[in-house]
């Protein structure tokens, strides 16, 4: 218990790392999350603490979107910045990062699609592109 408390105190001045928001030890600093719906879309998000740069939060969102795509058995996905855009099929490759109480947060809706689909993003390419930034020292090996 003491070790966990010391770890929490030591991490309180650090930027949010790439981990689940439901992590019992680190989740209070933010993290990624995803939920199915509505329809065949999946809502993916990432929230950070006050020490993480908004650009990094956007990278984490894209990385998590690619992981979720592969977890669901897909290879490609399209990104929608809002539910309104998903309904209107207005696709994007941009991540809009907002600030809530000075902490960057973002979410998007993804739709898993075949490789040839218009504006499809390759999950494997995104995982490879951002692996060193998201999981330093891993070089994306766990995703191959």
Total domain count, the chain: 1
Instruction: Identify whether 65 is part of a domain.
Output: yes
Q: Hey, how many other C-beta atoms are within 10 angstroms of the C-beta on 86?
A: 22
**Contact predicate 33/106, CB 8 Å:** no
E strand segments, the chain: 31-36, 42-47, 76-80, 98-100, 103-113, 121-122
Instruction: Identify whether 73 is part of a domain.
Output: yes
Q: What is the pLDDT of residue 13?
A: 56
Intra-chain end-to-end CA distance of the chain, in Å? 36
- For 102, the token pair is 């000075």
Q: What is the pLDDT of residue 51?
A: 83
Q: How far is it, in rounded angstroms, from Cα 138 to Cα 50?
A: 26
pTM of the predicted model, to two decimals? 0.80
Domain span at residue 83 reads 37-143
Instruction: Identify whether 107 is part of a domain.
Output: yes
- For 136, the token pair is 């330093």
Q: What is the pLDDT of residue 133?
A: 92
Profile the chain (144 residues) by mean pLDDT over runs of 10 residues: 48 71 72 92 92 90 97 97 94 82 89 95 97 76 45
Q: What is the pLDDT of residue 79?
A: 96
Closest CA to 127 of 115, 112, 109, 142: 142
């Amino acid at each position: 218990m003491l070790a966990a408390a010391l770890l929490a105190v030591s991490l309180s001045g650090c930027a949010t790392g790439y981990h689940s928001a439901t992590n019992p030890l680190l989740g209070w600093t933010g993290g990624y999350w995803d939920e199915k719906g509505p329809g065949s879309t999946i809502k993916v998000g990432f929230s950070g603490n006050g020490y993480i740069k908004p650009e990094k939060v956007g990278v984490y969102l894209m990385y998590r979107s690619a992981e979720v795509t592969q977890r669901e058995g897909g290879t490609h996905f399209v990104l929608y910045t809002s539910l309104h855009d998903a309904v209107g099929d207005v696709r994007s490759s941009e991540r809009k990062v907002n600030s809530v109480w000075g902490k960057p947060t973002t979410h998007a809706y993804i739709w898993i699609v075949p490789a040839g689909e218009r504006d499809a993003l390759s999950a494997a390419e995104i995982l490879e592109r951002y692996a060193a930034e998201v999981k330093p020292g891993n070089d994306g090996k766990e995703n191959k």
